[in-house]
Structure 1
Amino acid sequence: MGQGERYGKLKKVMICIFDALIYHLSIIFSFYLRYSGNIPNYNYAAYKESAIYITILFILLNVLFGVYVLYNKSVVDFLYLTVIIQLIMTVSIMAVTFFGRWFTFPRSVLLISFLLSFIFLFLWRIVVYRLYEKFNGSKKMMIIGKEEDVKNAVFNIGNAKSKRHIIEYAAIQNYYSNIKSHLNDIDIVYLASEIEEAEKLRIYDLLVAKKKKIFLNTSFENLVLVNPNIMNIEDESIIEVSNFEIPSEDGVVKRLFDILFSVLLIIVASPIMLITACLVKLTSQGPILYKQVRITKDGEEFNVLKFRSMSTTAEKETGPVLASSNDARVTTVGKYIRALRIDELPQLFNVLKGDMSIVGPRPERPFFVEQFQEENPYYYLRHNVRAGITGYAQVYGKYASDFNSKLNFDLLYIKKYTLLLDIKIMLQTIKILFDKVSSKGLDEEEMLAKKEIPVSIKVLK
């Protein structure tokens, strides 16, 4: 681990410690406000006894929600994250203190502390974020590769919420010579395409020697090398490539977790599902639930369950088509249940049955699977695991991403799988409910915009 990396982790630890201190000070201040300075000892004792558990839960939630990963954040992200985390903290403490020995922890103090901690933590995080922007600054980037790949990369990076990475150059030919000529003007080189091996090695050698960062695309060749196992056989060091599959022992734990969590969520969400079923039935003709054939693990077909959000004749004339922004086929009630992801709740029964997992690649229809497999020979690899209600692509990508981009996210998920990653994705799914970008479908105008490179970026040939 380099000195810069150690320093970066130290800064995150310090920010985390200050976060916890601010949260506890908010609770203490709430006691003073609630009791005008005359705090009953038995009430305050409940807080002191539970303080260590509150701290652990607070830090765990912040880490899992990615609060301390700053490069891809915006001010709005910190607003959403702070509200969500403090709400979960408040509800969790209420539940624990109700059933535990800390019953005397006042609910009024928790409600006051929710408001205070949200305000103080949000302001503190804005200060941290602005300092991060000032001292870390933006990084100048050159993107190299085939013209179409470069255009797509320029669109995605240029439209990111954070302006951490500024594209200065786009090289579509003579990669090595262009990098060498502009080396002093850039911090990062992003290889957006697979290029000739000899030239790629020369580029690596140059960038490593000059201590410049290298970004690689998620091509199959690069994804294969994710999460390797390093072996030593006598004097031979070997890199063992991991397969695109979840180990069997992890698969058993994942399945048990799916069953327990889906049962719990069905119980908790049953009132919402009952109300939704009534609204769907009362506002449009047709069945409450919509069944559609999808593909899951090992290419097997199953009927995915959803609350119906479109008219019953949605694809009668058009045949199978992907959903789009402002889709005219969506009913009035459907528009809202789709935006809030309520239409997906019946899939919890698919999870119980074993057709799906809570987290995994989103299941596609056979019609589109056949198309995608013709265009990308590695598409079948996403079917090495069960399809999921939510997934890596839904949390870290955009709903408007093309199928190749989503496939890369899915394959990364399989390669990096841990139960902790599943929990992290589940928690971060809550955040995307607040993000309209994650809720929209394919947008033709956006896809066309990908074809243009802004005049501010120098194109090198």
Structure 2
Amino acid sequence: MRSNEGFDKTKKILIGMVEVLLYHLSIWLSFYYRYDGNIPSFNYISYQNARVYIFFVFLLLNILFGIYIYYNKSIMDLFVITIIVQVILTVMIMAMTFFGRWFSFPRSVIVISFITSSVILFIWRVAVFKLYERIAGTKKVMVVGEENKIGEIIYNFMNAKNKRHTVTSAVLDNYIENIKKHIDTIDIVYIAADLSRQEKLTIIDFLVKNNKNIFVNTSFEHLALVNPNIMNIEDESVIELSNFRISPEFDLIKRTIDIIVAALMIIVTSPIMILTAMLIKLTSKGPAVYKQVRITKGQKEFNIYKFRTMSATAETDSGPVLAKANDMRVTPIGKYLRALRIDELPQLFNVLNGTMALVGPRPERPFFVDQFKKENPYYDLRHNVRAGITGYAQVYGKYSTNFNSKLNFDLVYIKNYNLLMDLKILLQTIKVLFDKVSSKGVDEEIDTSIPETIKIYR
């Protein structure tokens, strides 16, 4: 789906420029408030010398957190991202003024500007978001496919936090005839993967000629076409499909960054890890840290380290079982450790020993990997990269997403991989900590029946 739907790049650049001006205004107001209207030039000059770097970091952080992508946002998202970015920016400005020797840039002004900028930017962003909703409107979606395959698609649209897309109709048979008959009532057609190749081509040809947007899912057939290399051989253009792998040079850089960042994070979080281990030992029987066999790059087995959040005998009788929402096996303190992702901190040692990366597909247990491979022949492709502490599926999906959906997220990550994507995922993982849904287990069941409010064409 097109993330720039409603606002093109030019509008987003203008919005970013206005935000830089608003941020500058918030700092100036902070100086004005701090010094009762008599701003000392000596202090203000330090800010002037640093502001180019401050504005660059301001824009970079907001872009990485996706603040200028509106189609999947809510007002609460805007609030959370604004606060997180301004907190990080405040810390980074203090660091910049130290290393840049701009000591006369008052810390009090930086702290006051955190409050003023958060308020001003949030009000501005809500106004822009409302304008976006007014311009882009709500798009009417028609889902096309077999009845037993489209229920989950409709469920996802109906449960999205932002109602930018509303499913109004479903075509279960006689596809092209029904699409032609009702084309004027919809804006977008979602084509399910179960249609034959010829049916898809016929539908796409008709929709393109009628300037209608087309959605398709992330099936292997579609993912294989992502990030192609276009070559010209004599008088023919050839499309070379990319593999589901990360290039050796990027993998080396990624590994180097992982080692440096993991070592620093172990030092910084060591007090939290020591306190967590003590709390676990005091509140339940069993080890504070437990080891469990998982699968990583090259389908190799390794021991993953985690703080124990379940009772020590959680799977004694049941055997391997996926965690569920409201899982009764979770200890009282384990619930909070999972919600804050503190239980994952020992995996920093897995990153150091090379069995995991900071970012990558979440590792599964051999028992479940064997099951998933039987159900999906492409499941092994996720093992072309190291397993990760956090990943694309964890940031953009839900914890309760089924394994096929998670696999699609993982394959999108591998296909689109670049170093900036890793940084973006790491930063957005901070936002996920504030999302209660993301810390739940696998849902028992979802209602995939077609609601009565949706028109059905056969």
Shared fold (TM-score, shorter chain, > 0.5): yes
Is the CA contact (8 Å cut-off) linking 1:178 and 1:460 kept in structure 2? yes
Match of 2:17 in 1: 17
Is the CA contact (8 Å cut-off) linking 2:7 and 2:132 kept in structure 1? no
Match of 2:175 in 1: 175
Match of 2:454 in 1: 457
Q: For 1:82 and 1:50, how far apart are their aligned partners in 2?
A: 21
The alignment partner of 2:377 has SS state of coil
Percent same amino acid among aligned pairs?
Answer: 61
Task: Please list the CA deviations of residues 65-123 of structure 1 after superposition, one character each: whole Å capped at 9, or x if unmatched.
Answer: 00000000001100110000000000111122233311111111111110111111111
Match of 1:212 in 2: 212
Match of 1:329 in 2: 329
Match of 2:56 in 1: 56
Task: Please list the CA deviations of residues 391-435 of structure 1 after superposition, one character each: whole Å capped at 9, or x if unmatched.
Answer: 000000011110000000000000000000000000000000001
Q: How far 1:205 sits from its partner (Å)?
A: 1.0
Is the CA contact (8 Å cut-off) linking 2:6 and 2:136 kept in structure 1? no
Pairing of 1:373-412 with structure 2 (within 5 A) = 373-412=373-412
- Give me the CA root mean square deviation: 1.2
Match of 2:276 in 1: 276
Q: For 1:284 and 1:218, how far apart are their aligned partners in 2?
A: 43
Task: Please list the CA deviations of residues 369-394 of structure 1 after superposition, one character each: whole Å capped at 9, or x if unmatched.
Answer: 00000000000000000000000000
Q: How far 1:149 sits from its partner (Å)?
A: 2.1
Is the CA contact (8 Å cut-off) linking 1:64 and 1:427 kept in structure 2? yes
Match of 1:362 in 2: 362
The alignment partner of 1:29 has SS state of helix
Q: For 2:196 and 2:277, how far apart are their aligned partners in 1?
A: 56
Residue type at the aligned position of 2:185: D
Q: For 2:350 and 2:319, how far apart are their aligned partners in 1?
A: 25
Q: For 1:383 and 1:67, how far apart are their aligned partners in 2?
A: 31
Question: What TM-score results when the alignment is normalised by the length of structure 2?
Answer: 0.98
The 1:189–1:82 alpha-carbon spacing in structure 2 relative to 1, beyond 3 Å, is same
Q: For 2:397 and 2:189, how far apart are their aligned partners in 1?
A: 22
Question: Unaligned stretches of 5+ in structure 2?
Answer: none
Match of 1:160 in 2: 160
Pairing of 1:61-140 with structure 2 (within 5 A) = 61-140=61-140
Q: For 1:376 and 1:99, how far apart are their aligned partners in 2?
A: 52
Q: How far 1:194 sits from its partner (Å)?
A: 3.1
Count of equivalent residues: 455
Q: How far 1:19 sits from its partner (Å)?
A: 1.1
The 1:337–1:186 alpha-carbon spacing in structure 2 relative to 1, beyond 3 Å, is same
Q: How far 1:448 sits from its partner (Å)?
A: 3.1
The alignment partner of 1:182 has SS state of helix
Q: For 2:152 and 2:165, how far apart are their aligned partners in 1?
A: 15
Match of 2:347 in 1: 347
Is the CA contact (8 Å cut-off) linking 2:6 and 2:132 kept in structure 1? no
The alignment partner of 1:141 has SS state of strand
Match of 2:429 in 1: 429
Match of 1:371 in 2: 371
Q: How far 1:6 sits from its partner (Å)?
A: 11
Question: What TM-score results when the alignment is normalised by the length of structure 1?
Answer: 0.97
